[in-house]
Amino acid sequence: MNLLQIQDKVWSQACLGACAPHLEEKLSPPVPSCSVVGAISSYYVQRYGFPPGCKVVAFTGDNPASLAGMRLEEGDIAVSLGTSDTLFLWLQEPMPALEGHIFCNPVDSQHYMALLCFKNGSLMREKIRNESVSRSWSDFSKALQSTEMGNGGNLGFYFDVMEITPEIIGRHRFNTENHKVAAFPGDVEVRALIEGQFMAKRIHAEGLGYRVMSKTKILATGGASHNREILQVLADVFDAPVYVIDTANSACVGSAYRAFHGLAGGTDVPFSEVVKLAPNPRLAATPSPGASQVYEALLPQYAKLEQRILSQTRGPPE
């Protein structure tokens, strides 16, 4: 599917030509994800007992299927807080960049989705917990509760392994005057980590064309989604309510939803109508009063510091 011109929904002639001669002849024309492409093969009827009338709906990838499984809507974000952190974004007007991935939206053929991966996720959070608050998640939560939004201007970048987005390694701490410092007090360190992780997610999401809307909601999953104080920082940084959902096997669930969508009428029926009876997510956190002003001021500062670190680690251009 990397051969697809996502705006026009046709195969890219340049990409086809770079891969193999006569490749287009071997590929079927691309169709919307909710299209019925035919009946199941007789092989599966005979071997596995599928009914002969079983319809096949166009395939999609595991990440787009996860977007369907989490039932994202226009303006929504899904955040998976695991070993690596992953962001799924619903986009109207994508701005492709060298970082992240842009796909066709699997449930709305007129829109797009983006995927961003951040390698330093839960293992980084566990390291800072062990070093700063005596290996206690309870004390980690108390540190977030006891420190103010914006952390008094103290900002941190924590990448013990080479990060994917952005390509930086190491720990970098900056005080209120944007001077680099060697260490923070334990509670400041905890907030600097969590705020930094979520500010980076918002900055890079906006770099791909995402914009927070008045109806935006964030769907959180993964181990850290069980920590209410972490979710509160997420709600504050994005200025949007955070919900939690059980998304075990979300790609499989999304594929089932998409098959149902195809059988229900495809592009003539909104995906939201097909899944309206599915369980609703649970509200976990709403933005704190004043959060918008705090982070609208901090986000540009954080982005500038990130670029400063990148320029220093990459060195001058050859």
The domain spans of the chain are 1-30, 33-60+247-279, 62-245+281-317
Q: Are 180 and 41 in contact (CB under 8 A)?
A: no
Query: Which one, of 38, 10, 39, lies nearest residue 24 by Cα?
Result: 10
Instruction: Name the token pair of 239.
Output: 């200025």
Question: pLDDT tens across 64-105, in order?
Answer: 998 999 999 999 999 999 999 999 999 988 888 888 999 999
Overall fold of domain 62-245+281-317: Nucleotidyltransferase; domain 5 (3.30.420)
Question: CA-CA distance, 13 to 8, in Å (whole number)?
Answer: 12
Q: What pLDDT score does 248 carry? A: 66
The predicted structure's pLDDT at residue 315: 54
Q: For residue 90, what are the contacts with CB-CB under 8 A and spacing of at least 6? A: 67, 72, 73, 74, 75, 76, 77, 105, 111, 112, 113
Is the peptide bond between 166 and the residue preceding it cis, with omega within 30 degrees of 0? yes
Q: In what order do the strands lie in the sheet containing 155-159?
A: 155-159, 170-174, 180-181
Closest CA to 173 of 185, 157, 187: 157
pLDDT tens-digit map of 247-256: 668 889 999 9
Q: What is the mean pLDDT of each run of 10 residues along the chain (318 residues)?
A: 92 95 92 92 97 93 89 92 93 87 91 95 97 97 98 98 95 97 98 98 95 94 93 98 84 91 89 91 97 97 96 66
pTM: 0.90
